[in-house]
């Protein structure tokens, strides 16, 4: 069941509030299904998803090198 609250409490229900709430819910349902692959062509691609971690070539500070951690690359000693 969908719980709808109006944007401003005017004391009565307005028909437009209901319609807009329904449309917004359906839009949100579609947005919930967005995958990173869908964003690749858009201008947000460099920023989203914002799960960025810093790493250093020479380990001088806190670093998280995901390639080394997951054994995709091996460090040359």
Cβ distance to another protein smaller for residue 7 or 22: 22
Q: Based on the shown chain and the rule CB under 8 A, indicate whether residue 38 belongs to the binding site for another protein.
A: no
Q: How far apart are CA 56 and CA 63, in angstroms?
A: 6
Of 45, 62, 44, the residue nearest 53 (C-alpha): 62
| One of 14, 18, 26, 44 touching another protein (CB under 8 A) | 26
Cα angle 33, 53, 64; round to 5:
125
CA distances from 30 to 26, 35, 48, 69 (A): 6, 11, 18, 35
Q: Which of 35, 41, 42, 43 binds another protein (CB under 8 A)?
A: 35
The one among 4, 18, 19, 53 contacting another protein by CB under 8 A: 53
Q: Which residues bind another protein (CB under 8 A)?
A: 25-26, 28-30, 32-33, 35-37, 49, 51-61, 64-68, 74-75, 77
């Amino acid at each position: 069941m969908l719980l709808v609250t109006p944007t401003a409490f005017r004391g009565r229900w307005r028909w437009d509030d209901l319609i807009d709430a329904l449309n917004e819910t359906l839009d949100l349902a579609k947005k919930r299904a967005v995958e990173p692959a869908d964003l690749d062509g858009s201008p947000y691609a460099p920023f989203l998803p914002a799960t960025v971690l810093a790493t250093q070539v020479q380990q001088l500070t806190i670093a998280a090198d995901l390639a080394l951690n997951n054994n995709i690359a091996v460090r040359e000693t």
